[in-house]
Chains A and B, each alone.
Chain A
Amino acid sequence: MRKLIIFLVAIIALSCSSDKQYRENIEEFKKAELFNTSMKKLSDVIVHDIFSPPVASRIYAYPSIAAYEALIHDYPDYVSLSGQLTDFTAPPKPDQGVEYSFPLSSFHAFYKVGKALIFSEDKMDAYQESFYQDFLDKGMPQDIFDRSIAYGDQVAEHILDWADKDNYKQTRTFPRYTILKDDYAWKPTPPDYMDGIEPHWNKIRPFVIDSATQFVPEPPTPFDMDEKSQFYTELIEVYETGNGLDDEQKEIASFWDCNPYVSHHRGHAMFATKKITPGGHWIGITAIASRKADLDLMQTVETYTRVSIALADAFISCWDEKWRSILIRPETVINEYLDEEWVPFLQTPPFPEYTSGHSVISTAAAMTLTDILGESFQFADTTENEYGLPTREFDSFLEASQEAAISRLYGGIHYMPAITNGVAQGKEVGAFVIENLATQKPAVAKND
């Protein structure tokens, strides 16, 4: 009998100490850095699996939204995105009267959705498992743990059901682009002469914008090889800029290359250098800015969510125009008419020229970050360090996005109108998303 009592006391004490430890460590579970790291893991797999820029933007958006929707239950000032994003209904609510760790639910929902969208799931498993274990080690009671995971699953499944209906699956079997013989029309480019990427991306359901065609830019300069024509002038600008690049311009072009798959041929040997996508670069900037601004977990998740949604809609809008105008790349025209041996400083990515994706999406992302963190936000962009590129310093997000835009001229892969009109297109998408997507209750937002 005594033994039993002692045993019971011991159990109670143990559980008390566990609970106590959990309470003491509660901030440990809400560290924003855990989310930054998780997002980085997602980026790494996107690079490894070689997702194209538009597809990558979709892969950033849905897991972010899942994380956001699971986390807001700890933050009463935040509102669900249901009803704000196209066809997005309210996720299941957590049960009343029982305790959750919503940060854990949020991470779990993020991983579950993220892993569903990428291929190499095992590459995300290790980190996920290690911090789950860390949560348990730091005293998270098993019931709270299990319940939170279960809730994360519920939210994730809700998001995945919704994602499943965005036409992504259907577009996999939509017709490929048949190369048009017309002079103006895009042709596959060296060295791999890859198929045009995602000719039906405009059929993907957008998040905030009404449709892919909501912000159609003005048409590109008509193809015309008359030496007095506007097109010819713009072509020569690309050619001559490329021939006279200074070191700074080369650095800028390389820094913003963001080509997920640059192919190299050495005889029968081929290999690829892989980098993050343009969207991935802005996810990286989001991480840098969130850290610098010392955002808490909720603010961090909110920021990623807003940026990734703006990116995704910007890609839809841009790709709609690319496959409407189907404009030929400078490399193809220069090789055909001016200089057979000319090679652009950057490898030409495999899709039509107009408008510049980097210009559109960078502007939309920069506007979103400016809206959240302010206009004069200085930061050192180290995103590309791991790909062997230097750090570049910026005084604002828009300064960075403008540099990203002009880098495409230096890279020899875009004419100027794709850049200027691309920036304008990105502004419109960015402004519309900012205006039409609310994450915080109005009063709070004003106080902020």
Chain B
Amino acid sequence: MNRTLLFSALAILAFSCSQKETWFQMMNASESGIDFENSLTESDDFNILDYLYFYNGGGVSIGDINNDGLADIFLSGNQVSNKLYLNEGNLKFRDITESAGVSGKSNWHTGSSMADVNSDGYLDIYVCTVVGLKGLRGYNELYINNGDNTFTEAAQEYGLDFEVFGSSAAFFDFDLDGDLDLYLLNHAVHTQESFGHADVREKRDDQTGDRLLRNDNGRFVDISEEAGIYGGANGYGLGVSILDFNHDRYPDIYISNDFHEDDYFYENNGDGTFTESIKKYFSHTSRFSMGVDAADINHDGWSDILTLDMLPDKEEVLKRSAGDEDYDIQRLKVERFGYHYQYSRNMLQVNQGDFFNEVALLSGVAATDWSWSVLIEDFDNDSHQDVFISNGIPRRPNDLDYIKFVSSDQIKNKINSTKLVDQQALAMMPSGQARNFLFKGSGDYVFEDRSNQITPYDPTFSNAMATGDLDNDGDLDLVVNNINSAASVYVNQTGGHHLRVRLNGEAENTYGIGSKVFVYCDGKTQYKELFTSRGFQGSSEPILHFGLDQATEVDSVRIVWPNGYSKLITGVPAEQLLVVDTSGWKPLPYQKKKTEGYFEKVPDNLGLDFVHEEDSYIDFHRQNLMPYMLSNRGPATVVADFNGDDLEDVFFAGAKFSPTAIFEQQGSGFVQFPLRMSMEDSVDEAIDGVAADFSNNGEIDLLVVNGGGDFFGESDALVNKLYQQGENGFEQVSFPKTYENSSTIAISDFDQDGDVDVFIGSQSFTGDFGNLPDSYLYENDGGEFRLSQTFEQLGMVTGAIWSDFDADGWNDLIIVGEWMKPRFFRNDAGTLNEVNLMNSDISGLWQMIIQFDVDQDGDGDYVLGNWGLNSKFVADTDHPLKMYYDDFDDNGSTETILAAEKDGEYYPLETFDELAKQMVHLRKKYNRYQDFAGQTVEQIFEKTLSDSEVLEVNELRSGVLINDNGSFTFEPFDIEQQFAPILAGLSADFDADGTDELLLAGNFFGIKPFMGRLGAYPGALLDNGKFTPANQLGLNLANRSVRHLNILDHNEHRYLLVTVHNDSLQIYKINR
């Protein structure tokens, strides 16, 4: 609860700051002297269609080349010559390019980086080039600093004169032998028209493949192959971020790859080799991955990663640009071609040690249009990391009108006859001039858009960026390399308390590249590692920067050098450049943080070898506009002593056409029980089940409710089934027939007549999503059930519990579901009457309800699982998420249209093509995508919208209904519980301390690629009002869709049974 308070307090604080003030002031070239402009000239035979990265721009590096204490600036040009500007103080710069001899020898320069390659204490400059394409000549250039403001090009001597398609270069000591090695990031230039299998990456392409170069006494040797670095023809390397992500001392590498190729996450094995592990650590990544940077945004000492993509933020652009893939294509890529899940948006990957939680949608940094570079720094010195993103492309080649219409009308013949496109055709691509983005960080995942505090706030075509303190005033300034306009020099106006750390390293690593610095101040940890090649095609000043908020002194600073030696400095005053050398360093036992959980995974699952395999049915194939799937809500898990031997047995229901299974507990473990009779029927898809002695004959019966979202009409597979144990095992006995997709069972002797009665909730009608089904209460009459009450059009029910919320001795009923508010039915001596006990009207996408005394005041609170905040669904009380339901095209089948608020208006979430696929008449109304883009849902559907039914959601957060003397107030959980839908909860005394804790888990994948994958919830244990992430307790629940949590007693031990959708189940021994 404390975190919630803290979070809202921060939000208020942030809000109260004036948003009009200038954060970054851009300097004119005439003031600064920096007149470099990366002017691009397109020609008929050299343009974006000939070279796909024609608009990637030049590079930029910041560093003090003459050791005068002033940061100098190098800018590389594509078709224009490079420039080196010497900082003469007071933000005045002098162009010394000619005298320095760095104007360039090649036809096309790309990324640049500064590093002391020859370890003489002076920064050298390395410039990447594109060579061999369309007659471009030259080689990658290495300018060795002579120490007198002149440079000597010496790439060949060092073995770095590559003739490749270069993106950027990162100097770092990968083998911790003390000298600087090099990761050379290159890019392929031909997009293949077919994906090809992912293993294309294993076949090295010398011109376009990335390279790892080991520094052998000043000579760089290509060890890519032996080190396990991919260099395939499908490597479109655009971004590189190097840090010791897993805290094993050895720096690891994150590579952003454009297009269908996966990003690479190279774990450094410490033995000269790397292991690519993207799938092991990441649920999904950006798709058209571009720039990347990493920093610890949440003060936990682990570096988090932000990768850029090109998702437009504005509706007018979004809806006319080619967007995410189709569900089937993505599946094809993943299942058939071996690629990872990739989605077209920025991804913020929060490092948990064992895996990364992706939270960009929750954080508010997912959509920044055609983005190139990102730098994460504390730009306002408030001790929290902020984000700056460069943006814009001269032509948007993914404009749908261009793709579908322009070519046919304007350039058809030209393409056919010459396979070329001329200037006129190029001009038809709309401009993608865009503003840069500035986000203020809160230290707590959420970033606030403060882009309008960049002055002037004009659109540009901005590519590479670098940061450094150009005016030595203690805040970080920025230099951005722009296409067709002067480079931007953004001067930071914030000031504030700060500490800057410069590391004077050992012999061959003079700038201490790869060092880690921990700053402890005001009870907070700040953590940085010194790597200068960051973002995109640029390198920043080799100084670490820490904002200190209100502090004027830092408690302590710990420096860990690449070799593991360390130094702790205490009581460091703020507002200084702390220069640290290696004197007095000591070896530090540096170890990966260990999880010390009391949950211990049981390798053989105690013999419970049930694997849930979902069938191949895709709901979107039948109802294209459904917001999420209904067909993947199983399986049902029931723990009960079925055979009366006082040992708990387990029942699992299979997916459609997969058999159910019962496991009998024996002394040694669990053994699958041969199934007989009607239960062999594998057609049904049971969503929930409950075991009880319904017939009061001393034997356990089993009731399962069926759904699956596929069967329709009066299909027997939709009928709920009651089984009683007879001579031959379970036999189906009669139970009232219904044909909705059922979702949940709750049992109770609500009429207190001595037998168990049943509530069954219904979620949907197959093929008619949006139509609200009835739910039912059945009264048990000597083992025969009869309908006691119909809850007409109750809603899309997902969960229900019986609980005596008014403490009158009669069990009441609470029902939750999607697109509805929690519904309370008071039991008046056997009659259920709806009552309103809520203090606020909270419609959610509720997934479950469980009773738990959260505030420990002795009464029953109710924990509600909801959708979470980390998706494209956005909703609050003032701006609910809306779902319109009607037969919009009057063809006898209904559609649902989802709309969410953006800047005060409602827009459909789906693209024009997806909407028009279902409602063809829209294509008549909108002949061009640009006509559709920016249209509100009212403008698109006009009168039909007001005639339709509207369902709303105004609360997406999971939380708790606090019982306050019989009335209920909703309190949302903290933000870490909002990373994904919460689907399962279990209240038990896990740690054997005499009071119950609540374990929560979730994640959900039944959504379209434009929504992504909701897998970022690792689960959490709520104990004494405080959440502990489940991964810290030994549970491995992230990126898995957990449906049920159960306790199993076996051989005098307690175990946790985790039922996972479409996966093996998990068993953990509870070591308490």
User: Using a CB–CB distance below 8 Å, which chain A residues touch chain B?
Assistant: 47-50, 119-122, 169-170, 172-173, 175-179, 181, 187-188, 190-191, 193, 195, 264-274, 335, 340, 343, 386-389
Contacts and interface: CB of A to CB of B under 8 A. Distances in A.
Nearest to A340: B196
Contact of A190 (B195, B412, B421, B919): B195
B594 to A, nearest CB: 42
B413 A47 contact: no
B402 interface: yes
A48 B918 CA distance: 20
Q: Secondary structure at chain B's binding surface: helix, strand, loop or mixed?
A: loop
A286 to B, nearest CB: 23
Nearest to B894: A173
A196 B421 CA distance: 30
A431 to B, nearest CB: 34
A413 to B, nearest CB: 14
B62 to A, nearest CB: 29
Interface string B920-956: 1001100100000000000000000000000000000
B734 interface: no
Contacts, number: 130
A214 B336 CA distance: 37
5 contacts: A176-B328, A178-B618, A266-B52, A343-B194, A389-B416
Contact of A178 (B193, B405, B621, B892): B621
Contacts of B624: 173, 176
B329 interface: yes
Nearest to A341: B196
B152 interface: no
Nearest to B623: A173
A62 B151 CA distance: 76
B331 A47 contact: no
A271 B48 contact: no
A121 B923 CA distance: 11
Nearest to A119: B923
A114 to B, nearest CB: 13
A386 to B, nearest CB: 8
A181 B398 CA distance: 31
Contact of A273 (B49, B196, B412, B618): B412
Q: Which of A173, A190, A264 has the most CB of B within 10 A?
A: A173
Contacts of A387: 412-413, 416
A175 B621 CA distance: 5
B918 to A, nearest CB: 6
B897 to A, nearest CB: 14
B193 A343 contact: yes
Contacts of A195: 326, 328
A269 B893 contact: no
B616 A178 contact: yes
B289 to A, nearest CB: 13
A269 B191 CA distance: 10
A191 B397 contact: no
- 10 nearest A-B residue pairs (beta carbon): A267-B52, A190-B194, A269-B397, A388-B416, A191-B193, A176-B621, A271-B407, A274-B408, A169-B891, A119-B923
B53 interface: yes
Contacts of A120: 927
Nearest to B625: A173
Interface string B462-482: 000000000000000000000
A269 B621 CA distance: 29
Interface in B616-669: 616-618, 620-624
B332 interface: yes
Given A187-B336, A193-B332, A270-B403, A172 B918 contact: yes
Contacts of B332: 179, 187-188, 193
B402 A271 contact: yes
B49 A266 contact: yes
B917 A172 contact: yes
Interface in B389-435: 397-398, 402-409, 411-413, 415-417, 421, 429
Nearest to A342: B194
Interface in B598-618: 616-618
B288 interface: yes
A272 B326 CA distance: 19
B52 A173 contact: no
B329 A271 contact: no
B328 A340 contact: no
Given A48-B409, A187-B332, A188-B329, A267 B397 contact: yes
B889 A271 contact: no
B197 interface: yes
A172 B398 CA distance: 27
A50 B403 CA distance: 12
Contacts of B924: 119, 121
Given A266-B191, A267-B52, 15 more contacts: A49-B923, A173-B893, A173-B918, A178-B328, A188-B332, A193-B326, A193-B332, A195-B328, A266-B48, A268-B288, A269-B397, A271-B415, A273-B412, A340-B197, A343-B193
B322 interface: yes
Contacts of B617: 178
Nearest to B418: A388
Given A193-B332, A267-B52, A387-B416, A173 B398 contact: no
B923 A270 contact: no
A176 B421 CA distance: 35
A200 to B, nearest CB: 12
A394 to B, nearest CB: 22
A176 B616 CA distance: 13
A175 B288 CA distance: 30
Contacts of A173: 623-624, 889, 891, 893, 895, 918
Interface string B317-342: 00000100010110110001000000
A335 B194 contact: yes
B725 to A, nearest CB: 38
Contacts of A270: 322, 397-398, 403
A363 to B, nearest CB: 27
Contacts of B919: 172
A314 B889 CA distance: 28
Nearest to B55: A268
Interface in B869-896: 889-893, 895
Q: Which of B50, B288, B326, B331 has the most CB of A within 10 A?
A: B326
Contact of B893 (A170, A193, A266): A170
A267 B53 contact: yes
Given A172-B891, A269-B397, A388-B413, A48 B52 contact: no
Contact of A48 (B195, B196, B405, B411): B405
A265 B195 CA distance: 12
Nearest to B408: A274
Contact of B331 (A119, A179, A266, A268): A179
B191 A169 contact: no
B892 A170 contact: yes
Given A47-B408, A188-B328, A269 B49 contact: yes
